[in-house]
């Protein structure tokens, strides 16, 4: 194949794969009331239906990147698509809520292998002068998929059944596997060793932390189970950091965080996903439980938010090549913070969709503005041969933000309100969205710490100048 054909195939397959895996983050949210009726379970089970995917996805992303470096990115891309497709079929066939959560975990494993490889494959296939536009479009597609999740889930649930949310992945996944094998160029990374110790500490620590957050309201925040789970989770994550400092081949090289661009962009990503995932989880419940919309009607009304990446993301990605990612990311997160605070302010038992509509538009512009430049900012902050690890790290960090966002905002909602009446829903919804808005405002502040274009160029040139001087 020619270089142009290689680039186009890499972009097409990477974009489709990231769309599939990102869509499944929140595709079940509008279907949750129907799933609760069919399979049973309370708010904890519903949280795990979302977090069963995102937690597995987050924890294993760094391992997925390492597997690609060692065994070949094209090969592991195909294997990951196979696992994701198998998990989708298992979710569609699940007869109980417990088996659905387990199948979502299998989906998360496949997604964790595929997602970091999409960014690495695309980065290697696109020349540097076009990378900002390509990665901006890639980021916009991923953001669009996350935002479209509620609409797709609602439309499929109402038009066919919630099981078809997962069946739709199967034929597309089966098509992607041979295309990846024949159309992608194989590549390997510099580090082929697996950090099993780091994986164990990170997995157990995050599970402990999320378990405590999910169980807090039901068991009591002072109970031995909850306090012990939270303390153990924090201790294991501290052990993970200590392990990574000494590991010969760490899954998360801590030296990446010496780069201000890498550290600040990823802090902003974590806070962005914290606020967005937690808020979307509750918004879809509000549109159905408080405003009385069906799953499809709720997803359709989210289009004021979800359609924005189609328009804004490509322009934001191209603009980031000219003025840098810092102002665009900060602007986007600030808009999101205002939007969620607006929703919290107008929420009431008799609120209309018209009162929420302007906030949905602002949230859509903000989300699209952030997704486009953040990938380019992160990938430009590391050496090309480290792109696989950097991709895994940034995807893992943002998914961890999503896991914690769902757990924390759901805990605030359950602690202050509930589903018993419209008044109780508003009592829980308002403080939860304000927490999400605060997280997004902090994310905007973190984005402002990303170096400007001049500082970034000076930082990149410093090692070259030092070598020439020597």
Maximal C-alpha separation, the chain: 72
pTM of the model: 0.73
178-227 pLDDT tens trace: 998 888 888 877 665 677 788 788 878 877 887 887 777 667 778 888 89
Domain positions in the chain are 3-182+249-456, 196-248
Q: What is the dihedral of CA 289, 293, 298, 304, to 10 degrees?
A: -110
Given a contact cutoff of 8 angstroms between Cβ atoms, the answer to whether 26 and 54 are in contact is no
Q: Report residue 37 CA to chain centroid gap.
A: 27
- Please state, in angstroms and rounded to a whole number, the distance separating the CA atoms of residues 436 and 272: 9
Mean pLDDT of the chain: 81
Domain 3-182+249-456 has CATH 3.30.70.1290: no
- Res 463: pLDDT: 36
What element of type H or E holds 404? helix 387-416
Residue 394, pLDDT score: 79
Q: Which residue has the tokens 């041979």?
A: 178
Contact 267, 378 (CB under 8 A): no
What is the pLDDT averaged over residues 412-433?
85
Tally of CB atoms within 10 A around 351: 17
**How many residues does this entry show for the chain?**
470
Residue 380 in contact with residue 126, Cβ under 8 Å?
no
Q: Are 60 and 109 in contact (CB under 8 A)?
A: yes
Coil vs helix vs strand at 450: coil
User: Exposed, middle or buried by CB within 10 Å (0-12, 13-18, 19+), for 115?
Assistant: buried
pLDDT of 191: 61
pLDDT of 82 higher than 90: yes
DSSP assignments along 152-221, one per residue: HHHHHHHHT-TTHHHHTHHHHHHHHHHHHHHHSPP---S-----HHHHHHHHHHHHHHHHHHHHHHHH-T
pLDDT at 77: 92
374 vs 102: CA distance, rounded Å: 32
Mean pLDDT of 406-410: 82
pLDDT digits (tens, 9 = 90+) for 223-245: 888 899 889 989 998 999 899 88
At residue 402's C-alpha, the angle toward residues 362 and 155, to 5°, is 65
């Amino acid at each position: 194949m020619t270089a142009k054909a290689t680039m186009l195939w890499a972009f097409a397959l990477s974009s489709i794969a990231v769309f599939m895996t990102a869509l499944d983050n929140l595709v079940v949210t509008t279907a949750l009331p129907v799933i609760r009726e069919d399979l049973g379970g309370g708010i904890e089970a519903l949280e795990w239906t979302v977090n069963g995917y995102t937690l597995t996805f987050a924890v294993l992303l760094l391992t997925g990147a390492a597997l690609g470096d060692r065994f070949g990115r094209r090969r592991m891309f195909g294997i990951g698509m196979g696992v994701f497709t198998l998990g989708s079929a298992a979710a569609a066939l699940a007869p109980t809520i417990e088996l659905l959560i387990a199948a979502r975990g299998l989906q998360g494993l496949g997604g964790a292998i595929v997602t970091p490889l999409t960014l690495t494959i695309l980065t290697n296939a696109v020349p540097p002068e076009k990378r900002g536009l390509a990665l901006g479009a890639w980021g916009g597609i991923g953001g669009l998929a996350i935002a479209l999740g509620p609409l797709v889930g609602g439309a499929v649930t109402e038009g066919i059944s919630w099981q078809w949310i997962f069946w739709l992945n199967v034929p597309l996944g089966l098509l992607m596997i041979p295309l990846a094998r024949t159309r992608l160029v194989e590549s390997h990374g510099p580090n082929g060793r697996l950090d099993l110790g780091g994986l164990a500490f990170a997995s157990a620590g995050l599970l402990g932390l999320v378990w405590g957050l999910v169980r807090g309201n039901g068991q009591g925040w002072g109970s031995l189970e909850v306090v012990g789970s939270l303390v153990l989770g924090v201790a294991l994550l501290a052990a993970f950091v200590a392990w990574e400092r000494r590991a010969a081949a760490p899954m998360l090289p801590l030296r990446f965080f010496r780069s201000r661009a890498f550290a600040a962009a990823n802090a902003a990503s974590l806070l962005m996903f914290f606020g967005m995932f937690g808020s979307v989880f509750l918004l879809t419940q509000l549109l159905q439980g408080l405003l009385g919309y069906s799953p499809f009607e709720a997803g359709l009304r989210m289009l004021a938010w979800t359609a924005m990446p189609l328009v804004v993301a490509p322009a934001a990605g191209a603009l980031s090549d000219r003025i840098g990612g810092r102002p665009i990311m900060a602007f986007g997160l600030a808009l999101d913070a205002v939007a969620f605070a607006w929703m919290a302010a107008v929420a009431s038992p008799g609120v209309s969709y018209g009162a929420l509509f302007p906030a949905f538009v602002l949230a859509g512009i903000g989300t699209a503005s952030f997704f486009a430049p953040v990938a380019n900012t992160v990938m430009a902050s590391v050496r090309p041969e480290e792109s696989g690890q950097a991709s895994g790290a940034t995807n893992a960090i943002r998914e961890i933000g999503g896991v914690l966002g769902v757990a924390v905002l759901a805990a605030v909602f359950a602690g202050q309100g509930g589903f018993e009446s419209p008044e109780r829903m508003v009592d829980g919804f308002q403080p939860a969205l304000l927490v999400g808005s605060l997280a997004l405002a902090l994310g905007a502040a973190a984005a402002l710490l990303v170096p400007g274009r001049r500082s970034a160029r000076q930082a990149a040139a410093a090692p070259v100048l030092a070598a020439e001087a020597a």
